[in-house]
Structure 1
Amino acid sequence: MRGNVFLRYVLPPLIALPIGFLLLYPQLIRCMRISQSAAFRSLSHTQGVYVSRKTTPKQEIVLRQHVLTARDRIRRFWSGQKGKAILIYCPSQSDYEQYCIGGEGAGCSLGLPWGDSYLVLGPDGNNTDVIAHELCHDELFARLGWWRVKRQIPQWFNEGLALMVDYRFSSPSVWEHPDSIQTEDPLFERQAPVYRNPVMIKLKDLETTRDFFGGGSEHVMRAYQTAAEEVARWLSLVEQPGVPALANAILAGKPFSKAYQELERTHRNNQKRQSSKP
């Protein structure tokens, strides 16, 4: 009897949901079949990267260096790298729209519930900061899992964390000594953060993807500003080891908000003890 109930009422939705999800987003199907696409090929000497056959030799050289530099940045930020996302480089906007849902921005992340992850780079995505930004999203998914990130991690933290390795919008000194930065990247610049205006949106109003990206362009920019300021504030207190420590605490079963606040509180208490010493 139980077997019949499972076959009639449980198994069909389990089969239909992922199929429907893929049909709704054909970009995901294209990403999953990237290794079989005649329009793309793997980037030589760089594992897990596919480039359009329209890519020029110069673009390939630059992309290879940017991927290596971005991956190294992620390893420093997370104390290692567990993410294994496939990178797909589309130097033309038409190709980018075929692989990135929405086709906007310089890059986008596509994660699947069963663990596969794809980072699609558009015409403006051949950039260390863009790649590091997307790899940071992938690292969070790799460490916590798709379901846990979607259900427990607020979007403002997901985006704000990625901005900490995206030096177009943040200073590397927030989490590492500037002398340790690999300055051979030709696009690297020691820029001051661009999020200088007061925070305009409450964090509780940026919990979901719809909250974060659901408004117009001005709302999204303010959302990024809010996320960057909050995560930079937190990271300046807990420092780089706080990033993997937070992920480990959540993986062990602690709610995000509790783990986030406890790390900050512990660091503040340590600072007080240090300052009270004669």
Structure 2
Amino acid sequence: MRLLFRYVLPLLIALPIGFLLLYPQVVRCLRVSRSDDFRAVVVSKQGAPVYVSQTATARQQAQLRKHILTAYDRIGRFWGSKRGQAVLIYCPQQADYEQYCVGGEGAGCSLGTPWGGSYLVLGPDGNNADVIAHELCHDELFTRLGWWRVKRQIPQWFNEGLALMVDYRFSSPAIWEHPDSTQALAPPIDEADAMPFVQRSVVKLSDLETTRDFFGGDYAHVMLAYQTAADEVARWLTTVGRAGVPALTNAIDAGRDFEDAYRELERAKRQPPAR
């Protein structure tokens, strides 16, 4: 008992404090409900309140609501149900986005905490159904498996590749579904508008296991990492089907190793039915 109070208890106190000191953006996310710079908007009963910057125009707010509802629907169909309750924070100004997102890069980012809090921050280019669905997919994985298990057991290539399956800037909806109604009514995507992948030598999945592996290089490396992850998860999904996604997370949640469960689901689908 004395050992507990002398060493373990101080460590348990120091860890969350240290985490917050290293990531001041998380502190701002935790306090966004008290900020006069944002107002809470209820978009759907399916999700937590959305905090919208006071600088957002009425048109931006209307677009945001439409895009969030499209993303919620897409996530529910992809996973079978939507469980994530991440807090969304919309920052139409880059300066605000940098205050809430580590690095301030990209159209959106996900921030998770070891104690279960989850925040999805959308930047100036984040008012988009694909961006929101991408970030919500990350949150869904965290919700189903927990922050620690995702960080320790799920390779980053799978985390990102999975999110790319609901991000139609990088993948085709035909991989797992018919297009959303909003996509079906839209004109065909011009190749010039698509997100470009930089051509470079192939990178192995084993070199994309951690966040540092995935995002630690230059722009060309990150784009190649995205392409590699998307190609692999798309290949796997065409075999196991949409039901393979919750089946995999359920297996991992029950104690299975990621690699074993991932390959076993694929093998089971490839085996001919018993006569």
Q: Please give the TM-score of this superposition, normalised by the length of structure 2.
A: 0.93
Measured after TM superposition, the shift of residue 24 of structure 1 is: 1.2
Per-residue CA deviations over 1:100-136 (Å, capped at 9, x if unaligned) read 0000000000000111100000000000000000000
Provide the rounded CA distance (Å) in 1 between the counterparts of 2:151 and 2:259: 15
Residue 245 of structure 2, aligned match among 243, 246, 269: 243
| Equivalent position of 1:57 in the other structure | 58
Counterpart of 1:202, as a letter, is K
Counterpart of 2:112, as a letter, is G
Kept after mapping to 2: 8 A contact 1:171/1:191: no
Measured after TM superposition, the shift of residue 197 of structure 1 is: 5.7
| Equivalent position of 1:174 in the other structure | 175
Kept after mapping to 1: 8 A contact 2:200/2:224: no
Report the number of matched residues. 269
Per-residue CA deviations over 1:153-199 (Å, capped at 9, x if unaligned) read 00000000000000000000101134xx2226887856788659687
1:99-178 aligned within 5 A: 99-178=100-179
The alignment status of 1:4 with 2:2, answered yes or no, reads yes
The 1:210–1:93 alpha-carbon spacing in structure 2 relative to 1, beyond 3 Å, is same
| Equivalent position of 1:20 in the other structure | 18
Provide the rounded CA distance (Å) in 1 between the counterparts of 2:88 and 2:186: 20
| Equivalent position of 2:30 in the other structure | 32
The 1:187–1:143 alpha-carbon spacing in structure 2 relative to 1, beyond 3 Å, is farther
Counterpart of 1:261, as a letter, is R
Measured after TM superposition, the shift of residue 200 of structure 1 is: 1.1
| Equivalent position of 2:256 in the other structure | 254
| Equivalent position of 2:84 in the other structure | 83
Counterpart of 2:206, as a letter, is K
The 1:189–1:240 alpha-carbon spacing in structure 2 relative to 1, beyond 3 Å, is farther
Provide the rounded CA distance (Å) in 1 between the counterparts of 2:167 and 2:89: 19
Measured after TM superposition, the shift of residue 273 of structure 1 is: 3.7
Provide the rounded CA distance (Å) in 2 between the counterparts of 1:183 and 1:91: 23
The alignment status of 1:227 with 2:232, answered yes or no, reads no
Provide the rounded CA distance (Å) in 2 between the counterparts of 1:77 and 1:48: 22
Measured after TM superposition, the shift of residue 5 of structure 1 is: 0.8
The 1:256–1:45 alpha-carbon spacing in structure 2 relative to 1, beyond 3 Å, is closer
Query: Which piece of structure 1 moves more, 40-49 or 95-104?
Result: 40-49
Q: Please give the TM-score of this superposition, normalised by the length of structure 1.
A: 0.92
**SS of the residue 2:134 aligns to:** helix
**SS of the residue 1:102 aligns to:** helix
The alignment status of 1:215 with 2:213, answered yes or no, reads no
Measured after TM superposition, the shift of residue 4 of structure 1 is: 1.3
| Equivalent position of 1:43 in the other structure | 41
User: Any gaps of 5 or more consecutive residues in structure 2?
Assistant: none
Provide the rounded CA distance (Å) in 2 between the counterparts of 1:209 and 1:186: 36
The 1:87–1:218 alpha-carbon spacing in structure 2 relative to 1, beyond 3 Å, is same
Counterpart of 2:207, as a letter, is D
Provide the rounded CA distance (Å) in 2 between the counterparts of 1:70 and 1:240: 17
The 1:261–1:35 alpha-carbon spacing in structure 2 relative to 1, beyond 3 Å, is same
1:257-276 aligned within 5 A: 257-269=259-271, 272-273=272-273
Kept after mapping to 2: 8 A contact 1:170/1:191: no
The 1:146–1:199 alpha-carbon spacing in structure 2 relative to 1, beyond 3 Å, is farther
Provide the rounded CA distance (Å) in 2 between the counterparts of 1:187 and 1:135: 23
Provide the rounded CA distance (Å) in 1 between the counterparts of 2:143 and 2:105: 24
